[in-house]
Amino acid sequence: MRIVMKFGGTSVKDGRSILHCANLIKKFSKNNEVVVVTSAMAGVTDSLLHAAKKCCNDPSPGFIKLFIAEMTKKHYDAVNDAVRNEEIKSKVLSKVDKLLDELEKVLLGINYLGELTPRSLDYILSFGERLSAPILSASLLSVGVDSLALEGGDAGILTDETYGRAKPLPEVYGTIKSRLEPLVSIKKTVPVVSGFIGTTKSGNITTLGRGGSDLTATLIASALNADEVWLWKEVDGVMTTDPKIVPEARLIPEISYQEAMELSHFGAKILHPKALEPVMKKRIPVRIKNTFNPDAEGTVIKESVTSTKDIVKALSLIERVAIINISGAGFDFAETMSNVFRALAENKVHVIMVSQSSSELNLSIVVDEADVEKAMKALNGMINGNGNVSKMEDIAVISAVGAGMAGTPGVAGRIFSALGRNRINVVMISQSCSEYNVSFVVKRDEGRKAVRVLHEEFELGRGS
């Protein structure tokens, strides 16, 4: 059996957790061909982002030395706990030193210039995964598993030049196969690939967006015709909703590709929204497993699932969003919509949800909170006074997802009746013709209450 395993989050929190992952890989690699993808150590990507931004705002470079010292201690401690063989430890520490020296020089350069470009930011953020992959690979070597660490570009992850949200190129599957197939099938080694990052054809490092390590894993799985992808998380699998919001949330044993894609797009932290695209055509199952409860079956994401009486299967919530409203009496609406989405795409604004009034005088678009001002500027420039662009902040998007909703009358009615009984006002509604989800907007301070109300309404905590 050929398996692509991805580790991230608390799986690579420290050296002990990395060693735990190495032992898991050793266990499953005995009778299987395994490729491993790893994220950065927990908290490192956020720290790199903070340091990169501070370089532009703080004229003094003194903090850079302190930051590098903190990164050095974190990764040295991880090596000391994860790698027990002194010779292997010496080699990986030398690699860590080289990478951190490179990072320090990059940060100093940004500080002197006072300018942080998207390309420079991707380069800085890449260091998290570029540091963690050699450590996990060294830990595998120390427990007796032959392994080789590879950066995303070395593994064949070729992308376009959309820094921050790079897209894999069509030829990526061929390059991955040519780089990894000989290692897996001939040399019988376990490649450890740095997730989240790739390279352009000219060799510049790019990132695939936050959570992009999941996409790295599924790209590799598709290229190598893997039997399964295992995404090791901190939970037993996909839940009916976030247990932090509803403690009664339960595990969903299996879910379809379409349902999982809807949930990930609307904020459920299961996997990268685009991660399923590479495996869907080849019908490769994706299994969500708990790193610290490895015997649990987890949740299997696959083409189709056995019938269930659950009409709504899961609920997701996105809290940091805003609505942009475009209105005007004299619009040619088809032309306006074309221009609106072109302007948003050119400015790399992530569109989450869209609703159009029946009068064709108003278009409402939900975007990430971080993209609001960028979207307002782009659309005001496009409208050029021939209409009105406004925003509504402090809102939340809730999405009810389930294949059982298709063809079942009255689902939307039950959703909005339950919300009305609990005095929760709905600001905006969107439903696709696939009937796999109903999404709506409420005030942010009512978002969690709405999730709890609907979880109880559809009895999601009681099983099927």
Residue-level pLDDT at 144: 96
CATH of the domain at 393: 3.30.2130.10
Same domain (yes/no): 228, 320: no
Same domain (yes/no): 226, 375: no
Q: Is residue 156 part of a domain?
A: yes
Q: Is residue 262 part of a domain?
A: no
Task: State which of 192, 212, 233 marks the end of a domain.
Answer: 233
Same domain (yes/no): 322, 192: no
Same domain (yes/no): 79, 185: yes
CA distance 128 to 256: 32
Tens place of pLDDT per residue across the chain (464 aa): 999 999 988 889 999 999 999 999 999 999 999 999 999 999 999 999 999 999 988 878 889 999 999 999 999 999 999 998 999 999 999 999 999 999 999 999 999 998 999 999 999 999 999 999 999 999 999 999 999 999 999 999 999 999 998 999 999 999 999 999 999 999 999 999 999 999 999 999 999 987 899 999 999 999 999 999 999 988 888 989 998 899 999 999 999 898 888 888 776 667 777 899 999 989 999 999 999 899 988 999 998 776 566 789 999 999 989 999 988 766 666 787 888 899 998 888 989 999 887 665 788 999 999 899 999 999 988 877 677 899 999 999 999 998 878 778 888 899 999 999 999 999 999 876 667 889 999 999 999 999 999 999 998 877 65
CATH of the domain at 192: 3.40.1160.10
Same domain (yes/no): 180, 31: yes
Same domain (yes/no): 185, 322: no
Residue-level pLDDT at 51: 95
Residue-level pLDDT at 87: 97
Token readout for 233 is: 């998380």
Same domain (yes/no): 222, 121: yes
CA distance 161 to 168: 10
Same domain (yes/no): 63, 192: yes
SS3 category, 2: strand
Same domain (yes/no): 226, 320: no
Q: Is residue 208 part of a domain?
A: yes
Please give the C-alpha separations between residue 181 and each of 35, 73, 200, 314, in angstroms, as whole numbers: 10, 35, 21, 37
Structurally, the chain folds into a number of domains equal to 2
Task: State which of 179, 204, 233 marks the end of a domain.
Answer: 233
Q: Is residue 241 part of a domain?
A: no
Q: How many helices (H) and strands (E) does the chain have?
A: 14, 16
> Taking the CA atoms of the chain, what radius of gyration do you get in angstroms?
23
Q: Domain range holding 322?
A: 314-458
Q: Is residue 56 part of a domain?
A: yes
Same domain (yes/no): 201, 321: no
Same domain (yes/no): 112, 214: yes
Please give the C-alpha separations between residue 379 and each of 334, 343, 376, 389, 393, in angstroms, as whole numbers: 16, 7, 5, 7, 17
Residue-level pLDDT at 145: 97
Same domain (yes/no): 215, 357: no
Task: State which of 211, 233, 255 marks the end of a domain.
Answer: 233
CA atoms within 13 A on the CB side of 277: 13
Q: Is residue 295 part of a domain?
A: no
Q: Is residue 260 part of a domain?
A: no
CA atoms within 13 A on the CB side of 186: 7
Q: Is residue 297 part of a domain?
A: no
Q: Which residues contact 191 (CB under 8 A, 6 or more apart)?
A: 35, 36, 147, 148, 149, 150, 155, 180, 183, 184
Token readout for 294 is: 């490895």
Closest CA to 266 of 313, 334, 298: 313
Return the beta strands (E) in 118-182 as ranges: 147-150
The 8-class DSSP code of residue 160 comes to -
Residue-level pLDDT at 235: 83
CA distance 224 to 173: 8
